Amino acid sequence: MYLSVIYILWLRQLKRYMRSRSRIIVSVAQPMLFLVAFGFGFGPIYAKAGGGDYIQFLAPGVIVMAILFTAMFSGIEVIWDKQFGFLKETLVAPVPRLAIVFGRTLGGATVAILQGFIVFLITFLVGFHPQSAEMVIISSLFMFLIALLFTTLGTAIASRLNNMQAFPLVINLLLMPMFFLSGALFPIDTLPTMLALVVKSNPLSYGVDAVRDTLVGIGHFGLATDITVLLVVTAIVIVVSAYLFEKIEA
């Protein structure tokens, strides 16, 4: 029964994504704007400062950006299901709320990582090239952890909201500072002390660092630290999300 509920919710998320071509295009457009505008705009400055090829540095951050935004905004479907009654039908099923949360987040994470891989393929058009095919496989594991973490976070936030108009405002309030203070767009080796502390307290920083380290060999924290932080924070957020779902009345 548990696996059936998880599979149904996962498949439902995936079908929604496949049917929405406009959603795919819009989700790709913003990361590509960042890649082109920042990559070619700041590339010469970055090279003159001795940083090398900025596209190589930037592309992993943009890939994570695509995963992050898709993952977090997948939570809006919880509010949608609240308003149209599907969530109530799910909640009365004789399964733990944790199974419902996991099914939803697994579906949202799958959609997010698909979106990330679309952007990853497009980065080749602007000159990005990973260090090896083997490391792409390892990088994909970190991408999935990022997708799972932030899909769960988006779901947890949506579980406490009933207004679809309020959700994007709350999410953007979290997303933009989280993304810009993750080291996705700039190196974090020489940041001022206070800003460095903010970056280190941001879980997305470890996801960006892991993806960049595995794809192009540029890392700051170390892969062991990256995966430890991502696993611990993901586990905490899943538990919190399940708890918040327990508070939803069927």
User: Over the stretch 227-246, which tens digit does the pLDDT of each residue have?
Assistant: 999 999 999 998 888 888 77
pTM, two decimals, is: 0.88
Q: Using alpha carbons, select from 81, 80, 73, 76 the residue that is nearest to residue 26.
A: 73
Q: What is the pLDDT of residue 18?
A: 61
Q: Using alpha carbons, select from 217, 18, 68, 220 the residue that is nearest to residue 129.
A: 217
Asked whether 52 and 18 are in contact (CB, 8 A), the reply is: no
Overall average pLDDT of the 201-207 stretch: 95
Q: What is the number of structural domains in the chain?
A: 1
59 pLDDT tier (thresholds 50, 70, 90): very high
Give ∠ CA 118-148-27 in degrees, rounded to 5. 35
Rounded Cα–Cα distance for residues 238 and 87 (Å) = 18
Rounded Cα–Cα distance for residues 208 and 241 (Å) = 23
Q: What is the pLDDT of residue 13?
A: 65
Q: What is the pLDDT of residue 131?
A: 87
Q: Using alpha carbons, select from 156, 202, 149 the residue that is nearest to residue 179.
A: 202
More confident residue, 40 or 26: 40
Rounded Cα–Cα distance for residues 82 and 209 (Å) = 36
Domain with 120, as residue range(s), is 2-246
